[in-house]
Amino acid sequence: MQCNMIKHYILNLNPTAKHEWDRCILRDPLTAKRPEFAKLIAEAVGADTGSYLVSVNIEIQVLEEAAVPQAEQLSLPFTEVNISAPMREAA
């Protein structure tokens, strides 16, 4: 039995992430859930009980790359405000 199945996922790479599990994340583009490969393979094999020797071929093709924008430092002009009147306390 041979089954061809094409699935699309979003891969997020962040080598500077605080936690190891956040450095490489694979998610479904519609549900944002992480793929369960064992479940996907079981669906491809069928519903019959048994043990199977399976061959899984993973071919990676980058379809689109979205660059992460660098944090830009904004400089906003501030004008000085001179308050000469004493502030009144709120009642």
On whether the CB atoms of residues 43 and 26 are closer than 8 A, the answer is no
34 alpha-carbon distance from chain centroid: 9
Pick from 15, 20, 34, 21: nearest CA to 7? 34
Report the predicted TM-score, pTM, of the whole model to 2 decimal places: 0.59
According to DSSP, the residues that pair with 27 across neighbouring strands are 10
In this predicted structure, the answer to whether residue 29 has a pLDDT above a threshold of 80 is: yes
**What's the chain's average pLDDT?**
80
pLDDT in tens, 35-52: 998 988 888 888 788 898
